[in-house]
Chains A and B, each alone.
Chain A
Amino acid sequence: MTSAYKPTDEKELAELISWASAEARPLELVGSGTKRGLGCPVKINGRGIPAKVDLSGIAGVVFYEPEELVISVRPGTPLEQVNQMLAERNQMLAFEPLDWGWLLCGESKYGTIGGAISVGSSGPRRVKAGAARDFVLGAHAVNGRGECFKSGGRVVKNVTGYDLHKLMTGAYGTLGAFTEITLKVLPAPEKTYTLLIHGLKPERAVEALTAAANSPFEVSGLAHIPAPEAARSQVPYVGRADRAITAIRVEGHGVSVTHRMEELKKLVAPFGPLEELHSMNSRRFWSEVRDAWLLPPDHQVVWRVSVPPTNGAAIIAASGADSWLMDWAGGLIWLGYESAAAGQGARIRAAMTEGGHALLVRAPDAVRREEAVFQPQAEGLAKLSARVKAGFDPSGIFNPGRMGAVSLPGAA
């Protein structure tokens, strides 16, 4: 029988984990479960089905000081609630956490802030503002021994001790259970504009995006959408374009946005016909890019590939994918396949000639069990990662196998 626990505070959680650790009982840490489909399924491993630990009861805002650009929340707090609170004070989480619900649940489901930080994914603004972990200033957590610990603090500039909270960002709950997360926030832009270039091929799009990225005009989004995926957009200027769309985002104060749009237009005019999106349309469009919403929802298999930008177009060409999106000026490629077939992952990975990370995002369970969901690592790095895991969770009770072999008990 699967048991499920719902602790309501750090103390209850720590007691539960101490017990599970003593009994070597595996636990599956869950925020609201929206991203259970991401990463590897937890492994049963002969120790019984992991008991579910529902962390949504450890929720709420600990403090929010807008003038200090900092918010501290408990992990079960819904991400939408955090976004909403910040928006009321014209602020935001600048790494643009994804609404993974579209890809994984077929509908909008932001999940909890704990989940968003634990998968650690960053949206289109990664190129300018930084990654999820760059905004995690500190955390409180419980390790696999049931011990409560903290790292970092509430200030941006801090090099006191190791940044365990950054390491735990993107660790899929395999190192510890967060009980409090302190985040840096930034002012939301007054205006968000987007420059669109029509009808480019991927290689040419990367050239245009590179020109924009290498300009002093502080662009904060650099995407390219092929015609069929662009046609899915709910932004009329994109949805009805009937051509591939190359998009450059410019955010900030009004006068600055106007100026930079004019300069960028001059810069990329040689590439093709231009158009622009104003703020409302821009916000809509970039959330469609962020969530890979533009990929056909019925494509069974989806990969997220992070590579050096110059490698992006080649990966698209070699992948044999049925749908795709390019973000981060070529550095992030989403690939969709109508249905699963042998060798898809191998094909993508063979095309990654300059390093990087291909993550299997959506696939039927059988494929998720078979395929290397995370990028296979060199042996030395994998062994080190497994030792790091054991340092947090010596009996391997947290989310066994969720990040592949390194997160299985005994891997060190």
Chain B
Amino acid sequence: MNVIAPEPITADLSALAARFRQVLPPECVVTDTIARKPFETDAQTMHRQMPGIVVLPETVAQVSEVLRLCREFGVPVVPRGAGTGLSGGATPVPGGVLLAMTKFNRILDVDYANRVVVAQPGVTNLGITRAVEDDGFYYAPDPSSQIACTIGGNVAQNSGGVHCLKYGLTVNNILGVELVTMDGEVLRVGGKHLDPEGYDLLSIITGSEGLLGVITEVTVRILPKPETVRALLVSFDSIEAGGACVADVIASGIIPAGMEMMDRITIDAVEEYCAPGYPADAAAILICELDGPAAEVDYLIERVTAIATRNGAIGVRASQSEEERLLFWLGRKSAFPAAAKMKPDYYVLDGTIPRNKLAPVLARIGELSRASGLTIANVFHVGDGNLHPLILYDANVPGEMEAAEHLGHDILRLCVSVGGVLTGEHGVGTEKRDLMPEMFTDLDMQQQQRLKCAFDPGQHLNPGKVFPTLHRCAELGAMHVHKGKTAFPELPRF
């Protein structure tokens, strides 16, 4: 699968670079081949593409000018944060401009009275929490990549994390953005208030994967740190038993801060990698984290323990100290690097399924894995049904990468077929673009593309991502009507 450009690019890139140099400091316009090389891929490394020009603007006015020039030259632009995306959203477009937002790395306002932080988009996710933690606050969404990924990238991807079961995804935790559109206009949407002031554009800018505009500022909500955090490490002799336990916890009215599960293959891999001391006899382990007031956490630890026991848990340990809790998490947080030790490459999937479909879906994934000959390690946000099967392969073995991709797509189709979705938090990008028709009809996707057209009618921003079929905006906007043909249908009147 290659990234397709919508149309051949005819503009003269060196002329464009010269124009960029008139509005940006020279070191912010990168045309040198070696210097451009690091930008040829994001963390979805199956696809690579050298960008035509890399620009690293430092001010909003420069972003605006860059976009205006790209439009003038008819050159596509791909925004980029830290490049940790897993779906190819920041993969460059051939002959296009890559606009990296990493120089926007300042926190602009810490406002405890209104419980918000205003940050530039290149600030890392963890950087926000770091700025407020000494005063007892934090920013809730916590993708595993939080040390590196940017808040701008989080907004563009609507990223989640292990705690979104209780605290929601990015969209549930931000109040405003500043956005530069393709015609260079700077728009402010939302702010420090809670109600939207018209159409709730923030809800679609979040998760727009760099297709609607360039985010130049984000206002996030911050929360007081919970009084206490404790975790349970529960082991089961079957995935089914674990899944049933999770369902029972939720059905009993408890929403833990996070519920994470991993299968035997992953347990072995992380034991090998960092020895967190997970039970040796478990087919699956569940980490259930509870946070909040001390009295509540202790009470819920007891209740979840009882539910786990009732569901046939073969081991239950409650963390007695912060060190122990972190040890429980060590294995979970190391799952990706541990998998990377087992084989040179892995392909991580991100489908979400209804929780009650867990057991049959995992069984089917096992069958698909065996049939393909590729090992799959399963580690997932079980509380909200978000699976992360890691397909292990070796790109140096001819055909293995294609086989991994093929297997991945089969698994995503399986997720959709049981009422789930293609991606829970990593985004569509290029990687799942061609699978969109599994979930959406042409009409569904056209309605989404019309939204894209409202923001970027020339389709210069991140083209070739998300949507498998390109339509010109004029075509999407046309009305095909047969005026006067329908005598109005006989519908019952009042």
The interface of chain A, by Cβ under 8 A from chain B, is 3-8, 12, 15-16, 18-19, 21-23, 54, 65-70, 90, 120-122, 126-127, 130-131, 133-134, 143, 145, 147-151, 153-164, 166-167, 169-171, 175, 186-188, 190, 210, 213-218, 252-253, 255-256, 258-260, 263, 304, 306-310, 328, 331-332, 354-357, 359, 374-375, 377-378, 380-382, 384-385, 387-392, 394-395, 403, 406
Contact = CB atoms under 8 A, between A and B. Distances in A.
A263 B103 CA distance: 43
A161 B420 contact: no
Contact of A259 (B200, B294, B485): B294
Contacts of B481: 21-22
B253 interface: yes
A148 B293 contact: no
Nearest to A170: B200
B386 to A, nearest CB: 4
Given A8-B492, A214-B112, A308-B192, 7 more contacts: A69-B250, A150-B440, A153-B420, A160-B422, A162-B208, A167-B451, A259-B294
Per DSSP, chain B at the interface is loop
Interface in B218-244: 224-227
Contacts of A217: 227, 293
B372 interface: no
A403 B196 CA distance: 13
Contacts of A121: 195
B263 to A, nearest CB: 19
Nearest to B444: A149
A228 to B, nearest CB: 26
Nearest 10 A/B pairs, CB to CB: A256-B296, A306-B195, A187-B253, A391-B450, A259-B295, A166-B203, A357-B197, A308-B192, A355-B191, A157-B424
Given A120-B200, A186-B255, A256-B296, A159 B226 contact: no
A19 B424 CA distance: 38
A4 B494 contact: yes
B44 to A, nearest CB: 15
Contacts of A147: 443, 446-447
B251 A403 contact: no
B355 A68 contact: yes
A384 B454 contact: yes
Contact of B493 (A6, A12, A331, A382): A6
B401 interface: no
Contact of A162 (B168, B204, B224, B421): B204
B453 interface: yes
Interface in B135-171: 136-137, 157-158, 160, 164, 168-169, 171
Given A90-B253, A134-B168, A374 B198 contact: yes
B417 interface: no
Interface stretch (B16-24, B68-76, B181-189, B266-274): B181-189
Query: Residue among A153, A210, A260, A263 with the most chain B CB within 10 A?
Result: A153
B198 A214 contact: no
B414 interface: no
B15 interface: no
B1 interface: no
Nearest to B483: A22
A162 B381 CA distance: 22
26 contacts: A6-B491, A23-B484, A54-B494, A66-B251, A68-B250, A149-B447, A153-B421, A155-B419, A158-B424, A161-B428, A161-B436, A161-B439, A162-B204, A164-B447, A170-B196, A187-B254, A217-B227, A218-B292, A259-B296, A308-B116, A356-B197, A384-B454, A387-B453, A390-B454, A391-B450, A391-B477
Contact of B204 (A134, A164, A306, A377): A164
A356 B227 contact: no
A395 B479 contact: yes
A385 B444 contact: no
B280 interface: no
A255 B296 contact: yes
Contacts of B189: 381
B164 A157 contact: yes
A21 B486 CA distance: 11
A324 B354 CA distance: 44
A122 B193 CA distance: 13
Contacts of B316: none
Given A161-B445, A161-B466, A67 B484 contact: no
Query: Residue among A90, A308, A392 with the most chain B CB within 10 A?
Result: A308
Nearest to B175: A308
B425 A253 contact: no
Contacts of B424: 155, 157-159
Given A328-B194, A357-B193, A380-B185, A166 B204 contact: yes
Contacts of A133: 200, 203
Interface in B357-405: 381, 384-386
Interface string B454-494: 11000000000010000000000101011111101101111
Contact of A216 (B227, B353, B445): B227
Contacts of B489: 12, 15-16, 19
B247 interface: yes
B115 to A, nearest CB: 6
Contact of B352 (A120, A157, A188): A157
Contact of A16 (B385, B421, B488): B488
B275 interface: no
Given A162-B448, A171-B199, A218-B292, A154 B112 contact: no
B423 interface: yes
A126 B221 CA distance: 13
Nearest to A140: B444
Contacts of A167: 199-201, 203-204, 451
Nearest to A207: B113
Contacts of A153: 352, 419-421, 439
Given A216-B224, A307-B193, A374-B197, A164 B451 contact: yes
Given A163-B203, A216-B293, A381 B198 contact: yes
A141 to B, nearest CB: 9
Contacts of A3: 493
Contacts of A5: 491-493
Interface string B332-346: 000000000000000
B402 to A, nearest CB: 23
B200 A255 contact: no
